[in-house]
Structures are given as structure tokens and as C-alpha cells.
Chain A
Amino acid sequence: MTGSLAAAHAAAAPVTTTLPAVGVQRAAWLLVAFPLAGAAILLLGGRRTNRWGHVVGVAMPLAAFGFAVVAFIAMLSYPANQRSRVLTLFTWIHVARFNVPVGLQLDQLSICFVLLTTGVGSLIHIFAVGYMSHDPERRRFFGYMNLFVASMLLLVLADNYLVLYVGWEGVGLASYLLIGFWQYKPAAAVAAKKAFVANRVGDAGLSVAIMLMFAVFGSVTFAGVFGQAGKASQGVVTALGLLLLLGACGKSAQLPLQSWLLDAMEGPTPVSALIHAATMVTAGVYLIVRSGPIFDLSPNARLLVTIVGAATLLFGALISCAKDDIKKALAGSTMSQIGYMMLAAGLGPAGYPFAIALLLAHGFFKAGLFLGAGSVKHEMNDEVDMRRLGGLRKVMPITYVTFFICYLAIIGIPPFSGFFAKDTIIDVAFGKGGTSGAILGTAALIGAGLTAFYMTRVMYMTFAGERRWDPDAHPHEVPPIMTSPMILLAIGAVGWGGFEILGDRLAHFLGPVTGYVPPEPAIFSASGIAALVLAIAGVALGWAMYGRRPVPVVAPAARFPVTAARRDLYGDTFNESVLMRPGQWLTRLSVYFDNRGVDGLVNTLAATVGGTSGRLRRVQNGFVRSYALSMFIGAVLLVGAFLLVRI
């Protein structure tokens, strides 16, 4: 272990040199090609592929996962500082100084995301075969899902920002299509539009950042930008950092662009799992970690990342505490967990490996939770209000057990994965030192307590207590095609966190990319124990409020903090009053100005000319003699005028 540690440190100072891909990695383009081909077959093939479409839809991500494993094994055979490999496919744009090759970069960071996206993504695809079995549009659904996976893979594999942006936009498009998959429901159509618009705001930030990179560095490749970042002025680097953060906030649903995530629950549940665990919201964290060399140069931008992360982790957790919709409670939880990752990513190289560690662990347990929620929804006639659920433990034992394991993982009970992944982040936050470190660490601690409370609430309201079901509901355990992905994810939720954190495995693996291997975090440090105590307190409070006494079917009236959380802490209200209403006033004002001002002037002029000529044309009355008279009068006037002038 010390040998690899030394190697990692030696390679740490500059970003590792990238080598051309060799061997099996030369076929890395297959990773993107498989799901893209799946999407093309299913979406272009049309109804002909209805019968076997879902088979292709599952096979393609699985094939990509298989290849990712092969590429990963090939990567492990190289020495630590030679694992970053670039595969240049073709030149996309070559104009004068502007040269954009389409290249894929396989390194330790991207392979983590590739394995997560294809692995967890494939499990979600398998689950969706059962979940969407009654939907007549299942084939189209799988087409979009494959497109989603392909876009995400392109995003994490790109070796320059412009190709990354292509994947970034592809993810945005696929999420729009999937959130609005049941577009005949107005709520789904609105939610899709909302997600698209909120993402556009973030995308604008990323696109301006790319333009700025080209203007300053003359390059958009990772190597080109990071190599010259040190020469740029502090202002440029900070601006780049803030713009990238804006992009990350849009995709990862961080404050202030968080509002789309809760509404995105209108999509089918596998989509929610895919967005929250394997793709989409992790893209923002990826962007921050990948752009580490830029953030390392700008402490201000980095501080803002931590502030955004800490604020969002509390914000999301508070929303989750009051939501009665099981999917929305989980969505708020995702927002909160991504907040932890952003917080860690903002702490610099010391935090990068732990951000990725929580991201991977979160991929398992959050996908497990969402698939569990999907099973419940599937069996309860699409009922998602937890006040109408309850007592499902006996009826759906496998769903219950997997959900319970993921629950233990997310609230951070040892030895489940959330304990290792989250507590190290709290440790690193306190380790930052100073006032900011104390504030960030405290926020993360409070978040841990809140997480335990709201997840306990979800558990009790869904699986325990009396049955508050709709009389028509007859739930049974879901078929094996849906339970098996949940079981696999639950296994991951048990072991993965310990595997990646203990012995600093992930940090060593990522070291050459993140540029620094932090010392092995102490398990059961003071902050870790504090987090555990808070988590147990949260569980106890959850039991006291929802386990010990019956849950009312109608949500009881509540006072300020609860009503605020039920309304997403006024996120939509804020957007409406600060952005939407003034925007509408502005458009109304400009419409008024256009109608009355610009058009008014032009129309008045035209009306004047028209009216005058209408009166003047009466002179042309058709009587020759009146024309003659006017000619005479004119001639007399002319002669008179001449005479007058001469005299």
C-alpha cells in the first residue's frame, strides 16, 4: 500500500500525462456506441420493434457495462500514473487556431462514472422491463433511456469541454423526454418544461465558460485548459469557476436552480432512479471534480461551491422532512446528498475522492430506494401519498428488506456504505479548519440528523403501521425481474462504502487524477460519532412521531416550518415572484411600448397620410371643365406671383 501511495504522490504534482489508448481500450468508443445504437434502433425502428424493443434496450447498456469492466481491468494492469488514456476518434472542427478533436479520455475518474452509469443504469433498465410492462409505449421509453445513458457516457468520457457539452445537452434532452414521457398528463408536461428551462440556465453558464476558455487559452481540451490555467489571471480563473459552478447547479439541482428536481418526479419511477442515481445529477459533481485544476487556483470559487453544497444539503433535507409523496421525499433526499458531494468537491483535492466515494455509494442506495418506491407505486395503483400506504412490510417482503438496507445505508449506520462515505465528508469539512470549516461541518452534521429523521419517516409511513390503502389496492410482491435489481443494489449498498473508503482504496485509485491522496480518514472519529449519535436521534424522533402513534390519512394542519417545507421551502414562490412575475411585467411593458409607442407612431403617420389623400382625391371629380378652371386659376396665380416679384 505504501508503494502505491508514494507513486500516487509522485504523480500528484502535475496532472498526470495522458498516453494514447492501446489494446482493448482502443475500442472505448463502443461504450457510447452501444446505448446510442440501442436508442437509434428503438426510436428509428418504430412500431416494428415493439415486440422485442425492451430486450435491445436492456442488452445495450449491459453490453456497455461488460465492455466497461473489460476496460477497467485493462486499466488496472497499467501503473498508477499511466492509467489516463486518450483515444482520439476524429477531428470535429478545425478552423484556423480552433481545433476540436472528438476524443475519449479513459482515466480513473471517468471509469468510475462509466461503471456507475452502465452498471446501475443496466439494473434500472432491467427493473423497467417489469415496471413498464403494461405501458403501450414501452419501446419508446427504452429508446429514451438508452439515449440518456449514451449521453451520460459521452459526457464523462469526453476529453474536451465541447464534446462534454454535447453529452451535457444530450442528458438535458433525454431528461426532458423522459420526465414528460406521460405527456398527456399536464403536470408531467409542465415538469418536463420546467426541468428543461432550469437546465438551460445552467447550460448557459457552461457554454459561456467554454467560450471564455477558448478566448483566454485558445483551447477547449482538458489538457490544454488545465496546462495553461496557471498563467491566467485570478479574475479569469474565478469567472471560469463560477460559470462552471452555475452549470453544475443546473444539472445537479443545487441552489438556486434546484426547483426542477422535485417536479421531475412526474416521470416514470425508473427515470427518477436513473436521473438520481446513475446519470444527470451526478454530472454536476463530475464537472466540478474534473475541472479541479481550475478550482484549485481560485479559493473564492471553491468557497462558493462549498456554500452551495452546504446550503443545498440542508435545503433538500428540510423539504424531505415534510413531503408526503414518497418519491418527492426521496427527491429532496437526493438534492441533499448531492449537496454533500458538492460540499466535498468544493473542499479541493482533499475532498474530491470522498465526493466520488459518496457519489458511487449513493448510486447504489438511492437507485435501490427509488426502485423500491417504484415497486410500491406499481402495486398500489400508482399511489405515492405515504398517508395512503402503510403496512406493506408483510405484503412485499423483498421490497421491504432491500429498501430497509438502503435506508440503513443512507442514514449512515455502520457498516453500511453511507456511514463510511458520508462521515468522511463531515470529517474533511471540519478538517478545512477556521470558521468556514466549522460552519460547513456543522451543516453537514445537522444534515446527517435530518437524513435519519426523514428516511425513518418514509420507512414507518410506507412499510409499518396500519394499512391505510385505497380499497381497490391489492398489493403483492413484484415479479423477480423487478426484485433482482433491487437485491443487487442492496448488496452494493451494504458493502461498497466500506470497500472504497477502508484502506483509502478509492482515494489511491483516483490520486493521479485528483492530484492528492488524503491521509486515511479515521473511522469513528469524533465527528463520525457525532454524526452517528445525531442519526440515532433522528431515527428516535422519527419513531416517536410516526412509529409510535398512527399516521392520519389526511395531512394535519401545520404551522410555519412544516408548511414551508411542504411547499419546497418556497423555491417555486421565489422563482415566480423574483423571476417569473417581473419577466411577465417586462414582456407586458414591451408589448405595450411596441403597440402604443413604435406601432403607434408608424400607424399615426400612415393614418394621417391615408386620411389626407382620401380627402385630396375628391379633387379628381371627372369634370374636365373644373380641371380647366383650376389650371386657369393656377396660371393666373403664377403670372400674378411673377409680376409681384418683379415689382
Chain B
Amino acid sequence: MTPSHFVALAVVLFVIGAVGVLVRRNAMVIFMCVELMLNAVNLAFVAFARQHGNLDGQVIAFFVMVVAAAEVVVGLAILMAIFRARRSASVDEANLLKY
């Protein structure tokens, strides 16, 4: 298990997350995909920190987790509000704010 394996896994996870964000309509699934991307990045940070024997990457992983948690709190609240108003969680239908 070399660090390059972890990085490869992180890339795979990130791409899955990114594609999910772009192709899925359900806001819940998009959230999960965003989490997937964040955790892929965390994995890469930790892997590189381990490789270089440097704790900076690990510290940043904690920061990312905290930010992700906060983002989920706000995001889910918005999602709830939209769902109550429209009876739907599709992001394509929440398109009132436009030109």
C-alpha cells in the first residue's frame, strides 16, 4: 500500500462525486456527492501528510471536516425549506433566481 494507491483512490472518489453533482437532480444525492468529493480531498491530504511525515495535511483534513459539517447544516436547512415549499427536492425545479 503505497501513498500512490491512496491518491488514486482519492481521484476515483473525487471524479465519482463530481459527476454525481453534475448529473443528479435530487438535492440530497448532490449533497452526498459533495461530501464524497470533500472526503476524497481529505484522503489525498492525509496520504500526502503521511508520505512527507508532515502534520499540516492532517490538520487541514480536520478543518475540511468542520467546514463540511457546517455546510451540511446550512444546506440541509435550505433543502428542507425548498422541499416544504415545492414538495420536491429537484434542484432543476428551484430555478426562480435567474436573469
Question: Chain A residues in contact with chain B, CB under 8 A?
Answer: 617-625, 628-629, 632
Contact = CB atoms under 8 A, between A and B. Distances in A.
Contact of B22 (A619, A621, A625): A625
Nearest to A618: B99
Given A629-B22, A632-B18, A632-B22, A624 B91 contact: yes
A623 B95 contact: yes
B64 to A, nearest CB: 16
Contact of A625 (B92, B96, B98, B99): B92
Contacts of B25: 625
Of A618, A620, A621, A625, chain B has the most CB atoms within 10 Å of the CB of: A625
A625 B95 contact: no
Given A623-B95, A624-B92, A624-B95, 19 more contacts: A618-B99, A619-B99, A620-B98, A620-B99, A621-B95, A621-B98, A621-B99, A622-B96, A622-B97, A622-B98, A622-B99, A623-B91, A625-B22, A625-B23, A625-B25, A625-B91, A625-B92, A628-B21, A629-B22
Contacts of A617: 99
A607 B52 CA distance: 58
B55 interface: no
B40 to A, nearest CB: 14
Contacts of A618: 99
Nearest to B25: A625
B94 interface: yes
Interface string B21-44: 111010000000000000000000
B10 to A, nearest CB: 15
26 contacts: A617-B99, A620-B98, A620-B99, A621-B95, A621-B98, A621-B99, A622-B95, A622-B96, A622-B97, A622-B98, A622-B99, A623-B92, A623-B95, A624-B91, A624-B92, A624-B94, A624-B95, A625-B21, A625-B22, A625-B23, A625-B25, A625-B91, A625-B92, A628-B21, A632-B18, A632-B22
B-side binding surface: helix, strand, loop or mixed? loop
Contacts of B18: 632
Nearest to B96: A622
Interface residues of B, number: 13
Interface in B44-99: 91-92, 94-99
A628 B22 contact: yes
Contacts of B97: 622
Contacts of A620: 98-99
A48 B94 CA distance: 78
A596 B64 CA distance: 59
A141 to B, nearest CB: 69
A634 to B, nearest CB: 13
A520 B97 CA distance: 103
Interface string B1-32: 00000000000000000100111010000000
B7 to A, nearest CB: 15
A623 B97 CA distance: 9
B37 to A, nearest CB: 10
B18 to A, nearest CB: 6
Contacts of B96: 622
A622 B98 CA distance: 5
Contacts of A624: 91-92, 94-95
Q: Which of A617, A621, A623 gathers most chain B CB within 10 Å? A: A623
A628 B91 CA distance: 12
Nearest to B24: A625
Contacts of B95: 621-624
B43 to A, nearest CB: 18
Return the 3 tightest CB-CB contacts between A and B, nearest first.
Answer: A622-B98, A622-B95, A617-B99
Contacts of A622: 95-99
Nearest to B94: A624
A624 B94 CA distance: 8
Nearest to A617: B99
A620 to B, nearest CB: 5
Nearest to B97: A622
A625 B95 CA distance: 10
A618 B99 CA distance: 6
A624 B34 CA distance: 14
A628 B25 CA distance: 12
A640 to B, nearest CB: 15
Contacts of A619: 99
Contacts of A625: 21-23, 25, 91-92
B85 to A, nearest CB: 16
